[in-house]
Amino acid sequence: MGRRKLVVGNWKMNGMREHLGEVEAIGRVAAAHPSVEVGLCLPATLIMAGSERRGAAFIGAQNCHMDISGAYTGSLSAEMLAEAGATWVITGHSERREARGETNADIAAKSAAAHQAGLNVILCVGETLAVRDAGRAEQVVADQLLASLPEGAAADWLAVAYEPIWAIGTGRIPTMEAVAAMHAALRAALASRIGAEADRMRILYGGSMNGDNAADLLAIADVDGGLVGGASLSAKKFAPIIEAADQQMAAAA
């Protein structure tokens, strides 16, 4: 099917100017592995400086407002982020859905606004442990995806990230079988909405991905990359994940 692996770091609320050297180092790792699309979603304060030192990695933001401008103290529009140098943005991260009360409708609107401003989008979905334990994960996450998918979603500007909430920052990950089943369920859900375009859309895994588990996760047929938190904060930890993706691309070629 030829989906290019997409490996993206999410620095969350981490990163000061002194860490720009890591951006540069990760940009060099990206340049050494051109088969993989590599990016870093930085705190907004580092987007401008980071985009000057990004090498072959793209720079993304972690959130945007759904409106172009207005009386929204403390918020940033997609257009502002694009002007600062971002080319991608994360929408619907569970840390915003849960703690900031973002709804599926908000996330669809933010994703559409991002596209309007020329940004690519990583739309996040994922279940709580209670939902997983109740055996409802696939249904709940597929419903969440369809409810937050913007109108006209297409693979050339939108990727999905499946991030089980209980796997984020915990060192725990689902079994490979569970990841495979979820990604297949999400692709089927996408196909029900966007037809054949679903085959081109990348579905990333996120949640405690690291250099030790990346090769196994990225070998799963419907896992098209990763959204990586902690292990993306340094080139040393992030490089093995990019290398694992590169090896999968070589194996598929």
Of all residues in the shown chain, the one whose CB is closest to ligand 13P is: 229
Is 206 labelled a binding residue?
Answer: no
Q: Report the C-alpha gap between 202 and 21 in whole angstroms.
A: 29
Confirm or deny that 192 is annotated as ligand binding. no
Residue 42 binding ligand 13P, by CB under 6 A: no
Q: Is 236 annotated as a binding residue?
A: no
Q: Which of 177, 173, 168 is nearest to 232 (CA)?
A: 168
Active-site annotation holder among 127, 138, 163, 243: 163
Cα distance between residue 34 and residue 9, in whole Å: 16
Give the single-character DSSP code of 3: P
Instruction: For the chain, count helices (H), then strands (E).
Output: 11, 8
Residues paired with 40 in a beta bridge: 9, 59
Smaller CB distance to ligand 13P: residue 228 or 239?
228
| Strand (E) or helix (H) holding 28 | helix 20-32
Residue 179 found at the interface with ligand 13P (CB under 6 A):
no
Q: Which has the closest alpha carbon to 66: 93, 106, 37?
A: 106
For residue 230, state whether it binds ligand 13P (rule: CB under 6 A). yes
Find the shortest distance in angstroms from Cβ 226 to ligand 13P: 8
Restricting to residues 93-132, name those near ligand 13P by CB under 6 A.
Answer: 93
Q: What are the angstrom distances between the C-alpha of 249 and each of 55, 185, 242?
A: 21, 23, 11
Residue with Cβ nearer ligand 13P (63 or 247): 63
Q: Which of 33, 65, 93, 115 is catalytic?
A: 93
CB of 100 to ligand 13P, least distance (A): 14
22 part of the interface to ligand 13P, by CB under 6 A: no
CA distances from 15 to 7, 20, 206 (A): 19, 8, 20
Which is nearer to ligand 13P, 1 or 13 (by Cβ)?
Answer: 13
SS3 track for 172-187 = CCCCHHHHHHHHHHHH
Residue 10 in contact with ligand 13P, rule: CB under 6 A: yes
Please identify which residue in the block is written with the tokens 């994922």.
126
Closer to ligand 13P by CB, 82 or 125: give it.
Answer: 125
Based on the residue annotation, tell me whether 93 is a catalytic residue of this protein.
yes
**Residue 163 makes contact with ligand 13P by CB under 6 A:** yes
Q: From the CB of 237, what's the least distance to ligand 13P, in Å?
A: 10
CA distances from 95 to 53, 73, 205, 239 (A): 27, 20, 16, 25
Q: Is 208 in the site for ligand 13P (CB under 6 A)?
A: yes
Q: Looking at beta carbons only, is 10 or 144 nearer to ligand 13P?
A: 10
> Which one of 26-34, 182-190, 206-214, 237-245 is the stretch in contact with ligand 13P (CB under 6 A)?
206-214
Collapsing DSSP states into helix, strand and coil, what is residue 157? Answer: coil
Enumerate binding residues for ligand 13P (CB under 6 A). Answer: 10, 93, 163, 168-169, 206-209, 227-231
Provide the annotated active-site residues. 93, 163
